[in-house]
A and B are shown apart, each in its own frame.
Chain A
């Protein structure tokens, strides 16, 4: 079900990636062990590392040394001693990324399992205008979200986007993609969770489907029930951002698992090991999956076909493009 593909899946993505590529950065020959830093042992991290090791197992040059920052306090000196031969540091998660960016300002860092919002903020904080950093985001590209919406809910004419002040960029990109796909869009921004109670009902009155931008203020524990119950009462399906959001009440979501990102990371490393000239840029996950809540869809009266077929259709659409 997972397909390996080039990150340059679309023109927009390629342009966006070029804007942030490492200009003039050519990684050295990866003859030594790569250092992978992570903070804590969350299941997502372990799944990614496992996937990475598995993917690199066939490549003798791709040895990866994992370092848990939570248990091995880092300093600039110790950091250099831990993996002196590693041409770049691989950071798993936001906290490891930020830590490495702070301790090794000159060392190239490849970050994975990091939201785009966080990656943008870390770069702006530690290496504004500098290269030596690239990330594979956790976020799905807006086109993929809109295509899923169109495959799943072809009758939907309008899309509501609920965002917070921190996710206005993402909101705008989605609105732009939706507009390009000829969908009416409406949006709302809430600074506080409580504002959801005021904004949501009115937004639901003006859209056929709602996409809440993934943000803790929107998907708060006090608001999730209200969010999904209210949309249910308004017969407005919600497109989620992850498998958990589908289980919570969203009708469907497209997402990338840590395994899929690990595979993509392994692929990137292999590429670097084989072609040192390759430029590593920030990129969305290439591999993805979808999840459909059949119960919600049935409650809303939606005729959802087979989930695998939808995934296949979605993957096919990206290949065509």
Chain B
């Protein structure tokens, strides 16, 4: 609550004085009334005492006249209304006035007393006169004398209190009037004072308000004196100073505003310049992007052609010199292609274009593939390469295998680069396991030059190598480690380095993976007792581990202890070339009489011939040997009965003679290369120059495989693929795209156009074989180059599951087939209601993703009808033909149900 000054002044002036007036008035009034009362009481007591004293004689003498005169005298006194005399026995003797107490009153105490009843006050006094004692001896002797009577009677005076009451009222009235007069005067004084004080204060307040509202010319009249006068003058001075200050500030603001406007204009100009520069920078960036794209195409295409032709040339009958030169050319081109790939990969990572594609794959196989690739490089320097995969590592994991292999190739390649002698040990183990989440670690340890501690932090810088001399010696763009680190981080893991100069280095990558299904590995070497020797401890461990996993019983070979060696079925010696040169092999084979396999640090076919060792060994393998190579060796030596399915599939080129392939490639060199590759497999392909020609060809014939270059004049590969699919022909034909653009390797990006896979140029022979293998199952149906019949009609006779195809894909491994189909059944069971629900929600993109997964799974599981139905629905979803989705979904759902039922009813034991 806010109280203004006026109220404060009024309160301060009125309240204390009012309280004081009331208090004093009350005190004085009370004092006066008490004095009045006391005077009245004293007077009444005096009257009674005087009367009592004087009436003794009259009472004793019985002098009525005397008493009556006394009473008349008393009654004539003011306020006395009656006076009565009582005898000693309380008998009324005489009265005057208007007494109310007559005979034998109860209240006649022996002493003076008074009481009130109504408006009357009663005063009684005993009648006792003066006493004169003689104390005389004579009278004392008269002891029998009569005692004096103490009391002769009472007098009772009755007085009215009306007059005193009236006086009291008069006193109170006077007090009130005085108080009111004082308060009124005080109030008037307070009002006068408040007005006198408030007038200038109000004026000041108004002026302050005006000042606050910006009326700086506001002033107050200087009429007051004292402090208020000082305040008024002070305010006027302050307002004047403020006005002047405001004026000055206004001028400064105007000046500053002008400066700001000028600065703004300059900034605007600079902004425009910056925008222009930004535009130019963006243009330059776009130009860079276009340049990289062009680079990827323009550089990779000729380099790919060089490599391809080199490989073709190496298969022709040439002399050794020519063959060696061709090999050098291929190696140089491959190296150049690797540098180009690194640069493009780096650019892709920088732009965030790299995404992972986690899919189930065989980890051990992937590691062997990498080692298979890197083995020749290691052998050049007689380095021992060994890889140990611990038993607890799952056979198959879910990860992006392509990127993992890329990282491993990079790290192993680096290890080989910077190791001049010794070994490179690769370990793969589980670091942590929780439910289905695994932390997988792969470490690559080399015995190379090592890395100084202060250089480790700069390892992962782009274009950085520790020693520039290494760059010159080993080549490379210096991007490998950085790309590897980024890829590992993209996988959710990290890469660590521990190294000491001249003591070798260890690179370790750890990342979380999910395990896929576990496959029981076969043990074809069961029953074999193998005595082995390895001049490298880690390599010996890995070799023994590999042989044991294949079922063999291993023992360490000791040339001195021939007894134990006699128990062996075969010997396996693993040596460096240097060891062989030193004569270690001769020492080892001196007493061997059983089949002997030599594993040597060499990829040279000549050095892998037994004759190269003068018949000391029966079979030669490069180190480290792939399990299949070991099995082949034992098989060739007649120790086991084993057949390599991969070789069986890949080897006979005449198997694909009936396969119809359509190739669209604008580059003549590439056309010739692919033509040569296909011819090598006995395939007569139809090769056209652009996409439009491919579309026209596809309308005329059904093909088993269509290979389209993505970048072609007239019509690019994507458009061509879409047209081919739309034409209704070759709906089941695999369409793969060739590109030199590394950023286009994600086939999901093109699946909506009907392109099942994107292959990075150059098209290797292995890839070609794989593509032909995939299409092999449909070879029978596609043997006739007739237009493809309508899928809806033609699909009615197709069985839900092509078991033969599956078994062929699984190399007859029925257990693998069983597991694969169980997984498919599980996925279909889960996804069928999920897709239905998403269709209801019209979440078309999610539906498309699920259908695409079914499409992919169906492609590898021999479920042709399901694959076709998934493909049709996916195409409809891509092309936004939503009105037909319901129909496609009915078909797909029916196929899914059929496959689920068929898997339930499938008995693989009865299958061959």
Q: Point out residues on A near B: beta carbons under 8 Å.
A: 42-44, 93-95, 113-115, 117-118, 138-139, 192-194, 197-198, 214-217, 219-222, 224-226, 241-242, 244-245, 248, 258
Q: Enumerate chain A residues within 8 angstroms of B149, measured Cβ to Cβ.
A: 193-194, 222
Tell me the minimal C-beta distance from B741 to chain A in angstroms. 158
Q: Is the CB of B60 within 8 A of A248?
A: no
Tell me the minimal C-beta distance from B338 to chain A in angstroms. 160
Q: Is the CB of A197 within 8 A of B148?
A: no
Q: Is the CB of B139 within 8 A of A214?
A: yes
Q: Can you show 12 pairs from A to B with CB atoms below 8 A apart?
A: A44-B137, A94-B143, A139-B138, A192-B146, A197-B60, A216-B142, A217-B145, A221-B134, A222-B131, A222-B149, A244-B134, A245-B136
Task: Decide: A115 near B131, CB < 8 A? Known: A194-B60, A197-B57.
Answer: no
Q: Kindly report which residue of chain A lies nearest to residue B63, judged by CB atoms.
A: A197
Query: Does B61 reach chain A (CB closer than 8 Å)?
Result: yes
Q: Enumerate chain A residues within 8 angstroms of B134, measured Cβ to Cβ.
A: 219, 221, 224, 242, 244-245, 248
Residue in B60, B129, B141 whose Cβ sees the most chain A Cβ within 10 Å: B141
Q: Is the CB of A193 within 8 A of B146?
A: yes
Tell me the minimal C-beta distance from A162 to chain B in angstroms. 15
B408-439 near A? 1/0 per residue, CB < 8 Å: 00000000000000000000000000000000
Q: Is the CB of A113 within 8 A of B141?
A: yes
Q: Is the CB of A244 within 8 A of B130?
A: no
Whole-angstrom CA separation of A43 from B138 in the bound complex: 12
Q: Is the CB of B148 within 8 A of A220?
A: yes
Q: Enumerate chain B residues within 8 angstroms of A117, measured Cβ to Cβ.
A: 142
Q: Kindly report which residue of chain B lies nearest to residue A220, judged by CB atoms.
A: B148
Whole-angstrom CA separation of A136 from B138 in the bound complex: 13
| 8 additional contacts (CB under 8 A) given A193-B148, A224-B134, A241-B136 | A42-B137, A93-B141, A114-B141, A138-B138, A197-B63, A215-B139, A217-B146, A224-B132
Q: Is the CB of A241 within 8 A of B129?
A: no
In the complex, chain B residues 150-188 whose Cβ is within 8 Å of any chain A Cβ: 152
Q: Is the CB of B131 within 8 A of A214?
A: no
Query: Does B454 reach chain A (CB closer than 8 Å)?
Result: no
Q: Is the CB of A115 within 8 A of B142?
A: yes
Tell me the minimal C-beta distance from B141 to chain A in angstroms. 5
Residue in A95, A114, A197, A222 whose Cβ sees the most chain B Cβ within 10 Å: A222
Query: Does B135 reach chain A (CB closer than 8 Å)?
Result: yes
Q: Is the CB of B132 within 8 A of A94?
A: no
Whole-angstrom CA separation of A197 from B145 in the bound complex: 18
Q: Enumerate chain A residues within 8 angstroms of B136, measured Cβ to Cβ.
A: 214, 219, 241-242, 244-245
Whole-angstrom CA separation of A216 from B134 in the bound complex: 10
Q: Enumerate chain A residues within 8 angstroms of B137, measured Cβ to Cβ.
A: 42-44, 113, 138, 242, 258
Q: Is the CB of B62 within 8 A of A197?
A: yes
Q: Is the CB of A221 within 8 A of B131?
A: yes
Q: Enumerate chain B residues within 8 angstroms of A242, measured Cβ to Cβ.
A: 134, 136-138
Tell me the minimal C-beta distance from B888 to chain A in angstroms. 152
Residue in B63, B130, B142 whose Cβ sees the most chain A Cβ within 10 Å: B142
Q: Enumerate chain A residues within 8 angstroms of B135, measured Cβ to Cβ.
A: 244
Query: Does B140 reach chain A (CB closer than 8 Å)?
Result: yes
Whole-angstrom CA separation of A194 from B134 in the bound complex: 18
Tell me the minimal C-beta distance from A66 to chain B in angstroms. 18
Q: Enumerate chain B residues within 8 angstroms of A215, measured Cβ to Cβ.
A: 139, 142, 145
Query: Does B133 reach chain A (CB closer than 8 Å)?
Result: yes
Q: Enumerate chain A residues within 8 angstroms of B131, measured Cβ to Cβ.
A: 221-222, 225
Q: Is the CB of A221 within 8 A of B148?
A: yes
Whole-angstrom CA separation of A41 from B316 in the bound complex: 185
Tell me the minimal C-beta distance from B809 to chain A in angstroms. 161
* Residue in contact with A248 in the complex, picked from B61, B62, B132, B140, CB distance below 8 Å: B132
Task: Decide: A221 near B132, CB < 8 A? Known: A193-B146, A197-B57, A197-B62.
Answer: yes
Q: Enumerate chain A residues within 8 angstroms of B130, measured Cβ to Cβ.
A: 225
10 closest A-B pairs by beta carbon, nearest first, are A216-B145, A197-B61, A224-B132, A44-B137, A244-B136, A221-B131, A244-B134, A94-B141, A220-B148, A242-B136
Residue in A117, A138, A198, A220 whose Cβ sees the most chain B Cβ within 10 Å: A220
Q: Kindly report which residue of chain B lies nearest to residue A224, judged by CB atoms.
A: B132
* Residue in contact with A214 in the complex, picked from B56, B57, B138, CB distance below 8 Å: B138
Q: Kindly report which residue of chain A lies nearest to residue B139, judged by CB atoms.
A: A216
Q: Enumerate chain A residues within 8 angstroms of B142, measured Cβ to Cβ.
A: 115, 117-118, 214-216
Whole-angstrom CA separation of A240 from B130 in the bound complex: 20
Q: Is the CB of A115 within 8 A of B60?
A: no
Q: Kindly report which residue of chain B lies nearest to residue A44, judged by CB atoms.
A: B137
Q: Enumerate chain A residues within 8 angstroms of B62, measured Cβ to Cβ.
A: 197-198
Q: Is the CB of B129 within 8 A of A222?
A: yes
Q: Enumerate chain B residues within 8 angstroms of A225, measured Cβ to Cβ.
A: 129-132
Q: Is the CB of B148 within 8 A of A95?
A: no
Q: Enumerate chain B residues within 8 angstroms of A193, measured Cβ to Cβ.
A: 60, 146, 148-149
Q: Enumerate chain B residues within 8 angstroms of A198, measured Cβ to Cβ.
A: 61-62
Tell me the minimal C-beta distance from B207 to chain A in angstroms. 95
Whole-angstrom CA separation of A248 from B134 in the bound complex: 7
Whole-angstrom CA separation of A216 from B141 in the bound complex: 10
Tell me the minimal C-beta distance from A20 to chain B in angstroms. 19
Q: Enumerate chain B residues within 8 angstroms of A221, measured Cβ to Cβ.
A: 131-134, 148
Q: Enumerate chain A residues within 8 angstroms of B138, measured Cβ to Cβ.
A: 115, 138-139, 214, 241-242
* Residue in contact with B140 in the complex, picked from A42, A194, A222, CB distance below 8 Å: A42
Tell me the minimal C-beta distance from B132 to chain A in angstroms. 4
Q: Enumerate chain B residues within 8 angstroms of A114, measured Cβ to Cβ.
A: 141
Whole-angstrom CA separation of A245 from B148 in the bound complex: 18
Whole-angstrom CA separation of A165 from B136 in the bound complex: 21
In the complex, chain B residues 43-95 whose Cβ is within 8 Å of any chain A Cβ: 56-57, 60-63
Whole-angstrom CA separation of A198 from B62 in the bound complex: 9
Q: Kindly report which residue of chain A lies nearest to residue B135, judged by CB atoms.
A: A244
Residue in A93, A241, A244, A245 whose Cβ sees the most chain B Cβ within 10 Å: A244
Task: Decide: A222 near B146, CB < 8 A? Known: A138-B138, A244-B135, A245-B136.
Answer: no
